[in-house]
Amino acid sequence: MKIYNTLTLKKEDFVPIEKNKIRMYVCGPTVYDLIHIGNARPMIVFDVFRRFMEFSGYEVIYVSNFTDIDDKIINRANEEKVDASDVAKKYIKEAIIDMESIGVKMPTFTPKATEEIDGMIELIQSLINKGHAYKVDDGTVYFDVSSFKEYGKLSHKNLDELIEGVRDIKVTGKDQKKNFNDFVLWKPAKEGEPKWSSPFCEGRPGWHTECCVMAPKYCGGSLDIHAGGEDLIFPHHENEIAQYESNTGKTFANYWMHNAFLRINNEKMSKSLGNFKTVREIISKYNGNIFRLFMLSTHYRSPLNFSIDSDGKKSPELESAKAIYQRVCTCVERLLEILNFDAPNLDDPKEQIKLYDTSISIEDNFLEYSDKDISDAFKSLKGFRMQFVDKLNDDLNTADALTAIYEIVNIANRFIKKHDEEKFACDDLFKYMLYLLLIFNKVMGINVINKKEDLDSEIEDLINARSEAKKNKDFKKADEIRETLLNKGIVIEDTREGVKWKRV
């Protein structure tokens, strides 16, 4: 596996600290509202990284936090006249619902900042003792960036340049800061704010302190990989490094991965521009699998644009992801049908091993086929399987990995047609194609084992309207609806068990 490391600005071979194990931390959302599609990009991208590494045989400790104390949460609580902890609890619950709906596996641990305050106080005290932090008159504790020589190594800037990028934090005691870039480790509580007692003052920790306490605690020491959105490189991740490394003398994380921004209609997404889209909103129109496919169609380090029609209803990018998604689903459905297989349970690890082993054993034997068309197909399929894995091994190039999968679908569709028209049969070939697509399903977390609930509500309404028309003996209308459905690529059959449908 090669990973582009923000720390060195190079693609590097991935070597874990401990053999076959990965300790990974991804900065999670601040929970003051429903998660937006910008939050979803690192969630999906690094979830695929985790799935792929697990598929490749690693044990992955995947930690992602919820920031449950922050100015935004406090503001929201004041607006709604409730406790900040109620706001946080509510939106953690909602975030988990959304993460599930976009196929994100739950992290191994999801620590919350407010449950780790003791550890943060301990770290801050230790930094003061070691001369890396200092307290000013009002109780604010600052990290002294001049005490950490490597400050700026992640963002590749020197201290003067960093002055421009720093986010000014509204705290008292600012005039007593030693250096412009010194950042807050602990701040005194204002009237009515949540607070914790500490040796410094009654208050709460600064945002940058939480991750460098939770990450090593839950990952078990220094990290292999620390990841997040590129907006976190500075100051958040730079400040995490400064605290952890000056406190322990050890490297915080060997590899730093950052995903690029998601833009809406080629503009930055922000609440003030009014173009803020929640995951919930998108999922109500397109399912989580389609959304994932869209997200993964672009390499994670490239900016991703998402546009919406002027009427606000359709997204051209998601429409095209939807068409591709349906094409893969139909292909898998037909392969299951031809082989007379039930859809396997991909959550069962045994099933997963079986899929992989069987496809490899088919591969080992395919030279026995003398039919040139079949042996050529096997060869191409094997090539695309290897391309799929190679591309993911190359700094998680999901865009090119997906292209390999579409080639597999093209080959499969050709043989499905041959089966339908000429009664072509070759179980091994169909099995191999099916298994490759199921491996894709597992690694990308895109469910292509078609389910009825994936039907568009529009199509569902048409099927219901047709049943209604038939019940009312309005056969003309029923036939018209059947025709409309056919134009949408849906064939319906009336069976004793009710209406069945399939895509063509």
# residues near Zn ion by CB under 5 A: 2
Task: Give min distance, CB of 27 to Zn ion, in A.
Answer: 3
Q: Which residue has the tokens 């945002």?
A: 207
Residue 27 or 242 with smaller CB distance to Zn ion: 27
199 neighbors 121 (Cβ within 8 angstroms)? yes
Residue 211 or 404 with smaller CB distance to Zn ion: 211
Task: Give min distance, CB of 236 to Zn ion, in A.
Answer: 6
SS3 90: helix
Phi, psi of 34, deg, nearest 5: -65, 145
SS3 226: strand
d(CA 194, CA 192): 7
Q: Which stretch binds Zn ion (CB under 5 A): 1-9, 24-32, 161-169, 453-461?
A: 24-32
Residue 153 or 327 with smaller CB distance to Zn ion: 153
Give the rounded distance of the alpha carbon of 306 from its chain centre.
16
Sign of CA dihedral 245, 248, 252, 254: positive
SS3 115: helix
List the interface residues with Zn ion, window 185-224 (CB under 5 A).
Answer: 211
Residue 211 or 437 with smaller CB distance to Zn ion: 211
Contacts of 341 (CB under 8 A, 6+ apart): 335, 434
List the interface residues with Zn ion, window 379-418 (CB under 5 A).
Answer: none
- The answer to whether 227 contacts Zn ion (rule: CB under 5 A) is no
113 neighbors 205 (Cβ within 8 angstroms)? yes
Question: Which x/- pattern, by CB under 5 A, does the window 116-145 give for Zn ion?
Answer: ------------------------------
d(CA 378, CA 268): 45
Sign of CA dihedral 113, 118, 119, 120: positive
Residue 29 or 203 with smaller CB distance to Zn ion: 29
Task: Give min distance, CB of 41 to Zn ion, in A.
Answer: 16
Q: Which two tokens stand for residue 405?
A: 């999968």
Residue 27 or 444 with smaller CB distance to Zn ion: 27
Q: Which stretch binds Zn ion (CB under 5 A): 22-30, 263-271, 406-414, 447-455?
A: 22-30
Contacts of 189 (CB under 8 A, 6+ apart): 195, 202, 203, 204
Task: Give min distance, CB of 60 to Zn ion, in A.
Answer: 18
- Contacting Zn ion (CB under 5 A), which of 24, 26, 27, 338? 27
Q: Which residue has the tokens 């609580």?
A: 77
List the interface residues with Zn ion, window 236-255 (CB under 5 A).
Answer: none
Q: Which stretch binds Zn ion (CB under 5 A): 21-29, 34-42, 345-353, 429-437?
A: 21-29
Task: Give min distance, CB of 362 to Zn ion, in A.
Answer: 45
d(CA 415, CA 204): 63
Q: Which stretch binds Zn ion (CB under 5 A): 25-33, 125-133, 430-438, 451-459?
A: 25-33
Task: Give min distance, CB of 174 to Zn ion, in A.
Answer: 23
Task: Give min distance, CB of 241 to Zn ion, in A.
Answer: 11
The footprint of Zn ion (CB under 5 A) covers 27, 211
